[in-house]
Chains A and B, each alone.
Chain A
Amino acid sequence: MAGAVVGCALWVTQLEASLARSAYATGYVLYGAVVFLAAYQLRKKLPGLPLGKSRSWLQAHLVVAIASGALFYAHIGGRWPSGVVEGSLALLYAGAFASGVLGFYLTRTIPKQLARTGEQFIFEQIPRLRSSVQRDARTVVVDAVHATGATTLADFYADRLHGFFRRPRALRYTLRPTTTARRRLFNELTSVDRFLTEPERSAAERLFQLVRRKDDLDFHAARQGVLKAWLFGHIGLTWALLVVGAAHGVMALAFRGGPTL
């Protein structure tokens, strides 16, 4: 990666030394680099064709992305553009680049967090599994009431657990998941244990498991959701960058004066 940046810097220095209009040359190469970066998504759509392994593409994607950063800096001449189109374009590039860096961080940290849960979940199945956990929790409590006639656990469920099982977690949890709710519910469930009949205690044990499972489901939904949202955003920014970049190129060529190199 360092080699790619140094290579770009040397090339731009050479251009400057030759008194050429380096903005056109760096613009062409920069746009080419962005097209190459976007082509990775196209490669993913053609998995059966011998276009190289995806992991090789990702490595190349990272190297070219870093090099494009150096090119971008050279292209804007070290100062932020003031025009509306150029400013928007620079913002789009910066956004795509920053989202790429964020993605690099997320894809290297979130998998380890997800792997720590005892069970692994497929993102698309999580809503169904949540419903199943909620149904199981309700059944456990209702069965305990039928078995003993006591409503201590049922009251506790209605008061403290029903909302937890029924709803997905808040956006705050999605951005920064914690085990606070799980620990709090475990503590409350433990403290109510002394008031329970024997069948209710068995039901409470089962509720412990279901709370843990619901929390794991929420955790997977949040973390996997972040990864999917990130990719969606990164691709969206790239497409916008391609379109606005093309428009910028057309305008730059249309309104050029004198030699283009």
Chain B
Amino acid sequence: MLEVARPRPERWDKPLDVAMTSRTVDRLLGVPPFAAMDPAVFPRATPLREILRNDTRVRQYQPGEIVVREGDYGSSALLVLDGQVRATLESLPPATLGRTPKRRGAQLARAIAQLLQRPSAPEVRAPKAAAFSPTHPGAGVFVQDLPAVLDANRTALLGPGELFGEQAAITRSPHTATVFAETACVLLEIRWQGLRDLMQSTPALRRHVDELYRKNHLDGHLRNTPLLAALDEAAFARVKESVTFASYGSFDWSETAKLDAASDPLERLRREPIVVEEGEPVDAVLLVRGGVGRLASELGEGRRTIAYLGKGRTLGVEELILAAERGEPAVWRRTLSAVGRLDAIAIPPAVFLAEVAPTVPESQRLRWRERSRYDDAVYQPSPGAAPARTLDFLVDRRLVNGTQSMVIDLDRCTRCDDCLRACAATHDGNPRFTREGLLHDQLQFAQACMHCVDPVCMIGCPTGAIHRDEETGVVRINDNTCVGCSTCANSCPYSAIKMVEIREPTGAIVIDQATGQPLLRATKCDLCADQPTGPACQHACPHDALVRIDLTTPTQLAAWSQH
């Protein structure tokens, strides 16, 4: 038998909760914010009623039970329907949150089983797929010693109608707070695809989510910014009150990324939205809260990249403080442009000079004064970073998005393919990367999932099959809920996701019984998250030629290149 026919999976084949009834949907339509939504404005393909039926589920929690944990990645927002939950405004120790180290024995057993049970055909799948829960994989976890937590930490109470977890879900970032049930409560879990569709058709909800950021997350972001660490509470409040938000580029930047990579470098630079321009007056201190920016100096007809800025980095501090010391107007020394997308928080110069500048230590000011004497510093990357042409390459190709990029030193690689064989051996005989990719000097950036800081592959997934692992942050694909639509593979600017034809254990290719076309699944590197050794490719390289490396900062690559 060469083929076997099966129905093609669809977006809502596997609803978040199969037990969701029409009666429950009717009741949800009667409570805020759904009561205020107009079903007529929703597209025919994604009606409000079907979003609620398929992309939401009602969950009940006991007092003290953890709903979301700080640091975990989530793919759902939660709406309080009944009862109260409490959000911690300070970090809790791992033991309090029920975090336990992974059992090595179980991983080892899986690794041995995988070696012994290798299928004879490629891409074999079991005929029946198991159900999948993106946000709550197991039994409930309770906060340990709840009274002590409440005594020792600042918390905020959330009641019916309030939404939380939405930022983690829509920005593909970890939760910034732990939320647990204060009383017995009922919550509505909305997976992010549903939340996205609701926001697209309901401007009021979109505005509400923006306002929630200011209310719930701005404080945490500013408090985690080292520049503001020395402020007293009053000064901090004045800074917080003064900030504005700015976004540059597109959230769906992956759509043009492949085109950009192939275009002329000068044209590519011209297309990048300018955030601040060299020589222009400094109108704000910028704190990057998401995305990546290219910091460049004018050189000849173009601009040379001297750094790139990701989440948590600041710009404008040096210019403002040195200009204030000299009594001159502050101007930008470099140009910052958005590489794909850049979200920033802007502090007005007057507020910065009044509240923050006095807290900058003299030793730091001395370093800036010293640096400003050498014009060359403007044109060169900082010590320890990769050379300017390497930075240009990394930013041009958007490789700076990768937190676990596979980089191969071709001067050391003997092309033995031990990496590829190890990958295949740990994935049922199916390698999850190809030893091909972009070349820069002696470095090859292989076509393996980079586990991006901004995983655009997740944007269009209709079922949430591609998701971040809550514990590790690894971007994974749940094979059981993947419908083979290829959206992720098409979205990935690095061609790191492959669509494969699946087979039954007998070796028969599974085809769609309606169209006769083979059924596909998305596959990619999962960083061997289930293996006791970590990434098998790196573990298997005899010559230390292959490394998984974080390219969101330029220093790691520079250090490894010189090893």
Contacts and interface: CB of A to CB of B under 8 A. Distances in A.
Contacts of A231: 416
Contact of A50 (B412, B533, B542, B545): B533
Contacts of B14: none
Contacts of B536: 47-48
B444 interface: yes
Contact of A224 (B115, B411, B415): B415
B146 interface: no
A107 B413 CA distance: 8
A55 B444 contact: no
B425 interface: yes
Interface stretch (A22-30, A112-120, A172-180, A201-209): A112-120
B426 A47 contact: yes
A46 interface: yes
Contact of A111 (B410, B425, B439, B539): B410
A38 interface: no
A55 B540 CA distance: 7
B258 interface: no
A53 B528 CA distance: 15
Residue of B111, B415, B421, B541 with most chain A CB atoms under a 10 A cut-off: B415
A227 B415 contact: yes
Contacts, number: 82
Given A44-B418, A49-B112, A115-B442, A55 B533 contact: no
B410 A115 contact: yes
A123 interface: yes
Chain A binding surface, main DSSP class: helix
A54 B415 contact: no
Contact of A46 (B115, B413, B545): B115
Contact of B543 (A48, A55, A112, A120): A55
B445 to A, nearest CB: 12
B536 to A, nearest CB: 5
Contacts of A239: none
B544 interface: yes
A158 to B, nearest CB: 34
A110 interface: yes
Given A115-B442, A120-B444, A123-B415, A54 B540 contact: yes
Contacts of B532: 48-50
Contacts of B544: 55
A58 interface: yes
A97 interface: no
Given A48-B115, A107-B414, A114-B410, A54 B436 contact: no
Contacts of B115: 46, 48-49
Contacts of B111: 48-49
A59 to B, nearest CB: 9
A231 B439 CA distance: 27
Contact of B415 (A112, A114, A119): A114
B416 A227 contact: yes
Nearest to B536: A47
A54 B418 CA distance: 9
A122 interface: yes
Contacts of A224: 415
Interface in B389-432: 410-416, 418, 421-422, 425-426
A58 B533 contact: no
A31 interface: no
B437 to A, nearest CB: 9
B429 to A, nearest CB: 12
B539 A54 contact: yes
Contacts of A119: 439
Contact of B542 (A57, A122, A123, A227): A57
Contacts of A227: 414-416
B444 A110 contact: no
B425 A48 contact: yes
B421 A47 contact: yes
A54 B541 contact: yes
A11 B340 CA distance: 65
Nearest to B533: A50
Given A55-B541, A57-B542, A231-B416, A111 B411 contact: yes
Nearest to A47: B422
B114 interface: yes
Contacts of A49: 108, 111-112, 115, 532-533
Interface of A: 44-50, 53-55, 57-58, 107, 110-112, 114-115, 119-120, 122-123, 224, 227, 231
22 contacts: A44-B418, A47-B422, A47-B540, A48-B532, A48-B533, A49-B108, A54-B541, A54-B542, A55-B541, A55-B544, A57-B542, A58-B542, A107-B543, A110-B414, A111-B411, A111-B412, A112-B411, A112-B442, A120-B444, A227-B414, A227-B416, A231-B416
In the complex, the 4 A-B pairs of residues with the closest C-beta atoms, listed nearest first:
A47-B422, A115-B410, A48-B111, A58-B542
